[in-house]
Structure 1
């Protein structure tokens, strides 16, 4: 789960970098700094996903990325897309971890398989 979510946050950080290139001509300096802060926080959060609080922070940053659509309207759509990717990454990650746990439990019960 951590790898999928970290990939989503890292790509979203790159997306915010591209959004800042658009914002430099259309937005105030405060809005640009706010976007840069979001990009940096997304990247930092991808590194702290080992803790449970990392997933909560990642979910909060999804709201901020969608909210950056007030500065660049296209971010409403792209932020929404990445929010969906975030939810899917969490869902598939949990599903994969459950399958992995079942496989490990069956190995412990049956012992190693002979070839």
Structure 2
């Protein structure tokens, strides 16, 4: 399978992952104060997902970055077990992630002709 990375895919994907990293960092205090999650677990999940978002954004020049970005989307949805709102936000970020890949490929395919 040939997965070609385009500059538009990198830009849009990095934008989605950057915004998602901010949200992932902010679930830590919400999980602790609102949902009563133990601080060690909340920090591990929240900051861990934040770091994964940033690493995935940095790797978007290669196809492995898109695999890691997709894993981040699944984990973001699963973080809803700590902060229930994240079920909804995780699905929205996953939709943005998928849309960013397909829209960028379509736009760059049209402009390259």
* Counterpart among 50, 57, 74 of residue 85 in structure 2: 74
Q: 1:14 aligns with which of 22, 31, 37?
A: 22
Cα distance in 1, alignment partners of residues 56 and 46 from structure 2: 15
CA-to-aligned-CA distance 1:10-49 (integer Å, 9 cap, x gap): 0000011111120122212123212210111101211110
Structure 1 unaligned regions, length at least 5: 103-115
- What is the root-mean-square deviation of aligned Cα atoms in Å? 1.1
The number of residue pairs the alignment matches comes to 102
Q: Which has the higher helix share?
A: 1
Rg (Cα) greater in structure = 1
In 2, distance between residues paired with 1:99 and 1:8?
22
- For structure 2, list consecutive stretches of 5 or more residues without a partner in the other structure: 1-8
- State the partner residue of 2:3: none
Q: Does the CA-based 8 Å contact 2:32-2:42 persist in structure 1?
A: no
Structure 1-normalised TM-score?
Answer: 0.84
Q: Is the 8 A contact 2:28 2:42 kept in 1?
A: no
| Corresponding residue SS for 2:112 | helix
Query: 2:73 matched to which residue of 1?
Result: 62
Kindly report structure 1 stretches of 4+ aligned residues shifted beyond 2 Å.
Answer: none
